[in-house]
Chain A
Amino acid sequence: MNHYYYLFSGNVLYTLVLLSFYIFVFFLPKRFPPAITLIFILFGIAVGRFWDQVLGTPSIDFYDVHKSGKLDLLDIILYIAYGPPSYFMIYFFDKFKLKKQHLIFYITTWSLISVGFELLGDKLQVFNYKNGYQLIYSFPIYLVTFSILFILYYKLNKLKGEG
């Protein structure tokens, strides 16, 4: 394969653009201690990989990432690129001092944005759905995942308050 064509293929660009969001993580004004920032970033990576293990397992096999069923370097980079979105989600919630009453709207909005990104990924053949899986099934998964993220956020806030 021509290496230049590969570098500019849709799925590679998608992954690299997502990865570039780490630049914003470094340059945005800091709102949390580094350990807490690291937790939110790791959460995104861990949960992304977790759901792929659950839904992409051979016995269920709802989708493949980047066409192959294998875990190659581009897949690993994509999982690492899941870190910044979960950080931004908490960052902007904290920055704009949103309250618990706003959570339903906020999480729903972010879930819709995530589904939008996933749709783009589907068009660029980052995600290849199989065995009846549809994009819309990801929406409640995002709702649950982001809810857990906010439980973590509030627990860490409480710890900070007690510390």
Chain B
Amino acid sequence: MHWVFYSTVSWIIITYYITTMKKNEIIKGIIIYLVSIVLISFLAGIIVTNMKLITVTHDKIKYLDLLLKRVIVTPFLLLSLVSKYNELGTYLKKAALAVLLLILFLIIEYIDIKMQLYTYIKWNILFSILLNSFYIFTALVINKYFYVIEKWGEHR
């Protein structure tokens, strides 16, 4: 059941992003994607193996679902956020979108706990809010300052 859920959700998210992305944002999207999966995997490693705040499942299929979340679901949701964020006119709408995504991340995390993909040891929802806010913040910072990388190339 969890495998069906995660593979379906992954397909929906990827298909949604690919069908709505703009061609001129592909390169920025790739950078956001790669930075996201590096950050997510490093922080997951620190939280799980070093600080032991969360234990992850030892079941191979459930761990695959967790990998799908780290490599597909979370990064592509961030990409979709950035894509929609740039279209919105007012900062209120942009803030509302970021909050909506944060709530979506928390809902997914709740489902993960129910499906026993991982277990909180010394972790709580506040830490999840902080962590997911950090991911959203990073994606939005790259979105905002991507032009710096592009301009750097032009001036050299």
On A, residues with C-beta under 8 Å from B are: 30, 33-36, 38-39, 42-43, 45-46, 49-50, 53-54, 57-60, 69-72, 76, 79, 152, 156, 159, 162
Contact = CB atoms under 8 A, between A and B. Distances in A.
A156 B27 CA distance: 8
Given A35-B146, A39-B34, A59-B63, A50 B58 contact: no
B19 interface: no
Interface residues of B, number: 32
A53 B71 CA distance: 11
Interface of B: 23, 26-28, 30-31, 34-35, 37-38, 41-42, 44-46, 49-50, 56-60, 63, 67, 70-71, 146, 149-150, 152-153, 156
Given A57-B63, A70-B49, A35 B35 contact: no
A54 to B, nearest CB: 7
Given A33-B150, A42-B31, A42-B34, 16 more contacts: A34-B150, A34-B156, A35-B146, A35-B153, A46-B34, A46-B37, A46-B41, A49-B41, A53-B70, A57-B56, A71-B42, A71-B45, A71-B50, A79-B42, A152-B30, A159-B26
A59 B34 contact: no
